Amino acid sequence: MPESRASRRARWTVNWFPAYRGTGARIEYIADDWLEVRVRLPLSWRNRNYVGSIFGGSLYGALDPIYMLMLIHVLGPEFIVWDKAATIRFLKPGRTTLRASFRLEPTVVQNIRAEAIRLGKLDRDFEVSLVDDTGTAHATCTKTLNIRWKAATG
């Protein structure tokens, strides 16, 4: 699905946001429906650590806000979405450009919406990996998001 004017503007805004820009990562693509986002993290002088690989904070920072932003846009204003927890596993040093592809299946979004309405709130885990051009994972992150239906919170 191509980017829309609104998703291009969102991509530009996040990429220029100082906290995200400082990671060295760049969002390359946001689908018009926000069900897919692609991120690129090149090794550069800005994120290189003492041993010549990508700093772990940059690896995590490149991944940190994406699933939350996706769900905020996909679920709409009647839901509250917060990051609750995260774990990251560093598998290999990142010495080249790494990429992550975030995807939400429409059926997963429908289930989250229905469950949040039924229960009022829920936690959901999402996993994403930073991979090199050969597909080798260098880091894997699991994000736990808290999703609340606003009508249930009063």
Task: Tell me the pLDDT tens digit for each residue of 80-107.
Answer: 999 999 999 999 999 999 999 999 999 9
pTM of the full structure: 0.93
Which residues are within 8 A (CB) of 13 and not within 5 positions of it... i.e. 6 or more apart? none
**3-state DSSP assignment of residue 111:** helix
Paired tokens of 69:
């932003």
**3-state DSSP assignment of residue 93:** coil
CA distance 67 to 123: 13
User: Is residue 138 a contact partner of residue 99, using CB atoms and an 8 Å limit?
Assistant: no
Radius of gyration (Cα) for the chain, nearest Å?
Answer: 16
* Domains along the chain with CATH numbers: 5-153 (3.10.129.10)
The model's pLDDT over 114-140, given as tens digits with 9 standing for 90+, comes to: 999 999 999 999 999 999 999 999 999
